[in-house]
DNA sequence: AGCCACTCTACCGGGTTGGTAGGGTAGGGC
DNA sequence: GCCCTACCCTACCAACCCGGTAGAGTGGCT
């Protein structure tokens, strides 16, 4: 399961995608529209900035905005950065790989099964970008 | 990611599948062969018994054993019982469903995307049983 | 100057994770 | 009827994560 934090992050990014080209958006506006606790959202947006997905502007007329066009930001990458591994086991993770002490990967049926699951998941998430997250009216 | 507990559970069950029809298997044997901390494994096997996957026999010649034929035990069900939801969001979970406060499911793009991911995952895990977990030599 | 909006530090209760320790108790064999 | 075996039960632990909340700081704009 994605953490609440990750869910909020995705919601916020989808809102910023809709407002792309309208300039900076207030934290408070995002919080209100997406029903996210304000101070928690502050924290999340800050992380997204440090990660390099967003940038911000202070003072009047300030707010947060996407650095890159929404079509260039993959959902899979956001999830990895905010939530962690997408795979179900460390030994089948592409970006958070860790060798398994309990088995030999060449002969581990669980390993093979989880590779399948990982590929099926990535096949969806790596093809989707923020644009695919914008809600239908 | 699956918790360590879930990983150990699956490993233990795959071992018990290999020893199916050979009668009860000692906790200590499973622990040794699968490199799982003994007391932790005790705890896990007990849970699997309460869940209704295993049964045990006390005294000499005792141990743990599968209640049902391995081909009747689906991997997806084990994961759900030991680890929790398979879906990435509560609002797309079949067995742990919770309505989403942040969005209207009918018009939520994230919701739709995660349904796709869920189905791709279940398409694999619900077709697999313990038999598919037995390792190749 | 003064407001605005992000930024930073800190804190907090409660829960989960990944164990460890140790004694209790039922079942079989002899 | 005793004793060994092997599961059963309770308790504890440190460390971290989750989902926030609070409040003061700081830089930018007009």
Q: How far is the CA of B112 from the C1' of D21 (A)?
A: 33
> For residue A7, what are the contacts with CB-CB under 8 A and spacing of at least 6?
B89, B102
What local confidence, expressed as pLDDT, does residue B106 receive?
84
Give per-residue pLDDT as tens, A19-63: 998 999 999 999 999 999 999 999 999 999 999 999 999 988 999
Pairwise CB contact (< 8 Å): A117 & B110: no
What local confidence, expressed as pLDDT, does residue A105 receive?
81
What CA–CA distance (Å, rounded) separates A8 from A36? Answer: 7
C-alpha separations of A43 from A31, B4, B41 in Å: 12, 29, 39
The pLDDT confidence band at residue B11, using thresholds 50, 70 and 90, is: very high
CB B5 under 7 Å to nucleic chain C: yes
Residues 49-78 of B with CB under 7 A from strand D: 49, 56-64
What local confidence, expressed as pLDDT, does residue B135 receive?
81
The pLDDT confidence band at residue A137, using thresholds 50, 70 and 90, is: low
What local confidence, expressed as pLDDT, does residue B1 receive?
95
Interface residue B21 vs chain A (CB under 8 A): no
Q: Worst-scoring range by mean pLDDT, A125-129, A132-136, B36-40, B131-135?
A: A132-136
What local confidence, expressed as pLDDT, does residue A110 receive?
96
Strand D nucleotides within a 7 Å radius of protein CB atoms: 4-11, 17-23, 26-30
A89/chain B closest Cα distance in angstroms: 6
């Amino acid at each position: 399961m994605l953490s609440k934090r990750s869910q909020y992050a995705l919601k916020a990014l989808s809102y910023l995608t809709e407002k792309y080209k309208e300039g900076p958006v207030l934290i408070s506006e995002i919080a209100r529209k997406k029903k996210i606790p304000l101070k928690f959202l502050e924290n999340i947006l800050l992380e997204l900035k440090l990660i390099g997905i967003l940038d911000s502007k202070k003072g009047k007329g300030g707010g947060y905005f996407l650095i890159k066009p929404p079509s260039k930001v993959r959902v899979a990458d956001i999830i990895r950065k905010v939530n962690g591994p997408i795979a179900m086991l460390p030994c089948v993770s592409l970006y958070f790989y860790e060798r398994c002490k309990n088995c030999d990967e060449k002969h581990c049926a669980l390993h093979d099964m989880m590779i399948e699951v990982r590929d099926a998941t990535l096949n969806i998430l790596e093809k989707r970008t923020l644009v695919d997250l914008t809600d239908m009216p």
